[in-house]
């Protein structure tokens, strides 16, 4: 489907579908947001986190990052990229770093709190991030793990900003 034919709602729904088809639920991303923000926001609920994740996913610049990253993961999984990029992405080669760079496009939208949050969960790899980093499944999630971490961190930054206003 050509992008010019998609409504805002359709491009949002498509983004949700792409993420779900890769085995990740909005609830799992929201769980990371809750983990990040729970110490700082009294009465924070899982529903607030889920709403925040959904708001983040409605932004086109974030959808663009998600589509690009997931597409590269999928092509690598099907061996449809040219070498040496294919083996770099399949092995999640540690010096590559472009997966993190793509996620910065997501973090940029919500300012510096997002960067701190992202660095924190990227190091701890709680919840769904641990699963996505399991290399024994045959699936390639080189980009998706960073996208999910960045979406959760951006959603947490949104909640933090709301709290201050």
Q: Which residues make up the interface to Mg ion (CB under 5 A)?
A: 99, 142, 145-146
Q: Which is nearer to Mg ion, 29 or 160 (CB)?
A: 29
Q: Which is nearer to Mg ion, 27 or 101 (CB)?
A: 101
Rounded to a whole number of angstroms, the minimum distance from the CB of residue 48 to Mg ion is 27
Strand, helix or coil at 41?
coil
98-103 long-range contacts (CB < 8 A, ≥24 apart) are: 99/69, 99/142, 99/143, 99/145, 99/146, 100/146, 102/65, 102/68, 102/69, 102/143, 102/146, 102/147, 103/65, 103/69, 103/146, 103/147, 103/149, 103/150
The alpha helices in 45-164, defined as continuous H runs, are: 46-57, 60-77, 85-91, 98-107, 112-124, 128-132, 144-164
Rounded to a whole number of angstroms, the minimum distance from the CB of residue 92 to Mg ion is 6
Rounded to a whole number of angstroms, the minimum distance from the CB of residue 91 to Mg ion is 11
Rounded to a whole number of angstroms, the minimum distance from the CB of residue 146 to Mg ion is 4
Rounded to a whole number of angstroms, the minimum distance from the CB of residue 145 to Mg ion is 5
Name the residue whose CB lies closest to Mg ion: 99
Burial readout 83-118 (b: 16 or more C-beta within 10 A, e: otherwise): eeebebbbebeeeeeebbebbebbbbbbeebbbebb
């Amino acid at each position: 489907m050509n992008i010019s034919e998609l409504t805002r709602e359709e491009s949002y729904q498509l983004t949700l579908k792409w993420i779900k088809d890769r085995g990740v639920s909005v609830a799992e991303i929201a769980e990371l947001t809750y983990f990040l923000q729970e110490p700082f926001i009294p009465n924070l609920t899982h529903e607030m986190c889920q709403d925040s994740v959904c708001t983040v996913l409605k932004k086109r610049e974030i959808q663009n990052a998600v589509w690009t990253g997931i597409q590269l993961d999928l092509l690598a999984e099907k061996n449809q990229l040219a070498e040496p990029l294919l083996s770099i992405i399949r092995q999640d080669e540690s010096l590559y770093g472009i997966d993190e760079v793509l996620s910065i496009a997501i973090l940029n939208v919500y300012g510096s709190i997002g960067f701190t949050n992202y660095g924190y969960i990227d190091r701890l790899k709680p919840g769904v991030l641990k699963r996505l980093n399991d290399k024994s499944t045959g699936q390639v999630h080189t980009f998706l793990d960073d996208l999910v971490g960045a979406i959760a961190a951006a959603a947490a930054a949104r909640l933090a900003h709301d709290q201050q206003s």
